[in-house]
Amino acid sequence: MTALLEVTNLEAWYGESQALHGVDLKVGEGEMITILGRNGVGKTTTLRTIMGMIRNRKGSIRLAGKDMLSVPLHKTAKHGIGFVPEERGIFATLTVEENLMLPPVVAAGGMDLDEIYELFPNLLERRTSPGTKLSGGEQQMLAMARILRTGIKVLLLDEPTEGLAPVIVQRIGEVLQKLKGRGMTVVLVEQNFRFAAKITDRFYLMDHGQMVGDFPVSDLPNRMGELNKVLGV
Ligand code: ATP
């Protein structure tokens, strides 16, 4: 497989404290991978380090072969990588549509407002509501929608289903299926592996700042022992 995003031996630090101890992962164009692991093993840090939010890093990050380690955070999106953090980052005083229009378009191929509202009809209904009035599920949809406008090629998505009702989780699953249909490449961090199993192509298991296993979703039934060990259940 030729990787669109290839991370090799990635290390990262918060001050003196090393959080990533040599992360390796590869994502093909149009592929969705899911990183699973217990709290605190470095899943969020992996996404933040790829994005360039953590500058104290070494190793290799390549996007379509291009070195991303030397690219500053404010230019990462221009190269085609977008990040939806767990905390979603919706501006409370701005309306849904103002939030949507906020990030600059970095490349052709992003969704226009009509396509976004078709994919997220609830955002159309709420387009003049301020961020403060949105439910958790609406905030998550808005955070995803906002980044899809920009034309990024790789979506880094941190626990999109966290704290949401099952019906909303299902909606997010449908949205991710549609994005796959459009050829989006996705790196998903999820606690809910049953949800991820419905949409992901492959899993990566993470422990102590490293990937300790990876396998296609079809192999999940054979890997439950390994998975339970990594998840500590
Ligand atoms: P969670 O699901 O709880 O977010 P995670 O697997 O995403 O877990 P990270 O948030 O990446 O884990 O954390 C990895 C390690 O880095 C943990 O030991 C955590 O305490 C530490 N860490 C995370 N953020 C910071 C920070 N801002 N400053 C210092 N240490 C941090």
Q: Does 17 contact ligand 1 (Cβ within 6 A)?
A: yes
Please report, as a single letter, which amino acid is at residue 59.
G
User: What CATH number does the domain located at 3-231 have?
Assistant: 3.40.50.300
**Residue 230 and residue 50: Cα distance in Å, rounded?**
22
Q: Does 39 contact ligand 1 (Cβ within 6 A)?
A: yes
User: Which letter does DSSP use for residue 105 in this model?
Assistant: P
Q: Does 41 contact ligand 1 (Cβ within 6 A)?
A: yes
Q: What does each of the 233 residues of the chain score in pLDDT, given as a tens digit?
A: 679 999 999 999 999 999 999 999 999 999 999 999 999 999 999 999 999 999 999 999 999 999 999 998 888 988 999 999 888 889 889 999 999 998 888 888 888 999 999 999 999 999 999 988 899 999 999 999 998 999 999 999 999 999 899 999 999 999 999 889 888 999 999 989 999 999 999 999 999 999 999 999 999 999 999 999 999 88
Q: Is the ipTM of this complex over 0.85?
A: yes
**Can you tell me which atom of ligand 1 is nearest the CA of 191?**
2
**Residue 39 and residue 92: Cα distance in Å, rounded?**
28
Q: Which of 209, 89, 70 is nearest to 147 (CA)?
A: 89
Q: Does 14 contact ligand 1 (Cβ within 6 A)?
A: yes
